[in-house]
Amino acid sequence: MYSSFLQVPAMSNPTGGLSEDSVYGSRMGLTESSLAILERDRGSVETWDVEDTKPCVESLQLSMPSLYLSCFDMLLTEDAAWLVKVSEASPTLAMPMSRMEPRQEPEQCPVIDSQGQGLSPGLEGQEEERSLEQVQSMVVGEVLKDIETACKLLNITPDPIEWNTGNVQKWLLWTEHLYRLPQAGKAFQELTGKDLCAMSEEEFRQRSPQCGDTLHAHLDIWKSAAWMKERCSIGDTKVTGGEELWSEADSSCSGQPIHLWQFLRELLLKPHNYGRCIRWLNKEKGIFKIEDSAHVARLWGQRKNRPAMNYDKLSRSIRQYYKKGIIRKPDVSQRLVYQFVHPV
DNA sequence: TAGAAGGATCTAA
DNA sequence: TTAGATCCTTCTA
């Protein structure tokens, strides 16, 4: 069932090579528990009690349902026939099926009604395949986007491997709260992300009999998403000539346009990569300095496919943020120094 | 001279 | 409509 989620042909392999897909399938293979999680959590998402949640994760909670709904939208396209059969056989199962109807977002519903177009069976199959690919791309984009949002809120990296013990505890707290799981943080104390990733589902269950399998499944989703981001970053590097390796999920992965302020923050969050061209002067206050204006402008131009980009144009765009209250000049104005109005 | 500031206009999504 | 891109003039360190 998850195979459709995992192959992602449109994004991973523009040339359509089979070998890449098979690699994807093997690496992206989520466990049965992960699959079950998606199905099980959907119910809790639908009965979400937003008022009951903590403010710090509120926006995240509103964001996460789209992940699961998207997954189910995608599953619908692949397993619709099977589900219809099941629903016909079982009125009990028919109800969840009706609840799984895709949201009314025509532009995000690429399942083309080929019936009325008199397509031959072969063309119809191709159309369905293309539609499925589009849906898969969107699902992946949603997953990456929602995880990225979570990362920003929790101030952790998307790749669990890189988490320290504090990051692990943050993630555990967040997951427990979001899915109303019993507290299991103590059972995973002193464990880094690397330790966590090395643990089997059974080991999760041993540490937390009540929700170990659920946590393991959620971690599995994160690991897969992190791997996909990595794949996407490599693709970007090829496109841009390999000058830089984007380690954050970017617009080309999620399908969303990136804003200049987001781009600048991405650079700032990777000092080991971009510290020579842009760096924090005061991270707490959101004050940063562009050390190499030409380089930053060139990177932005690469990102937006604007070869003629220069600092004059980039700085004009930054100044547009003054009115919007996103970026401003610090109280003590200095050349090439700006300040995020709402630092992370 | 490079950068800052901001007006005006165009473009792509 | 929005977010940038582009071009421009004026000012400042």
Same domain, A224 and A148: yes
In a domain, A128, yes or no: no
| CA Rg value for chain A | 22
The separation, in Å, between residue A320 CA and nucleotide B12 C1' comes to 18
In a domain, A144, yes or no: yes
pLDDT of A162 reads 83
Strand partners, A282: A287
**Residue of higher predicted confidence among A319 and A97:** A319
A162 and A182 Cβ atoms separated by less than 8 Å: no
> Which residue's CA lies closest to nucleotide B2 at its C1' atom?
A335
Same domain, A157 and A219: yes
Instruction: Write down the number of H helices and E strands in chain A.
Output: 16, 4
For residue A337, the tally of other CB atoms under 10 A from its CB is: 15
The separation, in Å, between residue A195 CA and nucleotide C1 C1' comes to 48
**Residue of higher predicted confidence among A32 and A329:** A329
Least confident interval from A233-242, A266-275, A322-331: A233-242
Confidence of residue A198 (pLDDT cuts 50, 70, 90): confident
pLDDT of A220 reads 75
Q: What would the pLDDT profile of A223-237 be if each residue is shown by its tens digit?
A: 767 766 655 553 443
pLDDT of A280 reads 92
How far is it, in rounded angstroms, from Cα A291 to Cα A275?
8
Confidence of residue A130 (pLDDT cuts 50, 70, 90): very low
pLDDT of A247 reads 36
Q: What would the pLDDT profile of A74-103 be if each residue is shown by its tens digit?
A: 322 333 332 233 233 333 323 333 333 333
Q: Over 90: is that where the pLDDT of A151 sits?
A: no
In a domain, A92, yes or no: no
pLDDT of A245 reads 35
Q: What is the mean pLDDT of residues A111-130?
A: 39
Instruction: Label residues A101-133 b or e (16+ Cβ within 10 Å = b).
Output: ebeeeeeebbbeebeeeeeeeeeeeebbeebbb
Q: Over 50: is that where the pLDDT of A152 sits?
A: yes
Which residues 277-316 of A interface with strand C at a CB distance below 7 A?
A: 300, 304, 306, 308-309, 312-314, 316
Q: Which residues touch strand B (CB under 7 A)?
A: A 257, 293, 311-312, 315-316, 319, 322, 329, 333, 335-337
How far is it, in rounded angstroms, from Cα A286 to Cα A283?
5
Q: What would the pLDDT profile of A250-303 be if each residue is shown by its tens digit?
A: 434 455 678 899 899 989 988 888 988 999 998 888 899 999 899 899 899 888
Domain that holds residue A140: 136-232
pLDDT of A333 reads 87
pLDDT of A96 reads 30
Which positions of strand B lie within 7 Å of protein CB atoms? 2-8, 13
Tokens of A226: 């992190």
pLDDT of A171 reads 81
In a domain, A238, yes or no: no
pLDDT of A336 reads 92
Q: Over 60: is that where the pLDDT of A53 sits?
A: no
The separation, in Å, between residue A341 CA and nucleotide C12 C1' comes to 25
In a domain, A33, yes or no: no
Q: Give how many domains chain A has, as a whole number.
A: 2
Least confident interval from A15-19, A151-155, A291-295: A15-19
Nucleotide nearest to A303 (CA to C1'): C4
The CATH number covering residue A292 comes to 1.10.10.10
Alpha helices in A28-164 (DSSP H): 32-46, 58-89, 91-99, 121-154
Same domain, A227 and A148: yes
Q: What is the mean pLDDT of residues A69-73?
A: 32
Nucleotide nearest to A262 (CA to C1'): C3
Q: Which of A232, A248, A273 is the last residue of a domain?
A: A232
Nucleotide nearest to A301 (CA to C1'): C5
Same domain, A333 and A292: yes
Q: What is the mean pLDDT of residues A241-245?
A: 36
Tell me A256's DSSP state: S
The CATH number covering residue A172 comes to 1.10.150.50
> Which residue's CA lies closest to nucleotide C13 at its C1' atom?
A335
Q: Is the CB of A324 under 7 A from strand C?
A: yes
Which positions of strand C lie within 7 Å of protein CB atoms? 3-8
Same domain, A185 and A267: no
Same domain, A175 and A212: yes
Least confident interval from A56-60, A205-209, A296-300: A56-60
A305: left (phi over 0), alpha (psi -120 to 50) or beta: left
DSSP A214-242: HHHHHHHHHHHHHHHHHHHHHHHHHHTTT
Confidence of residue A35 (pLDDT cuts 50, 70, 90): very low
pLDDT of A318 reads 94
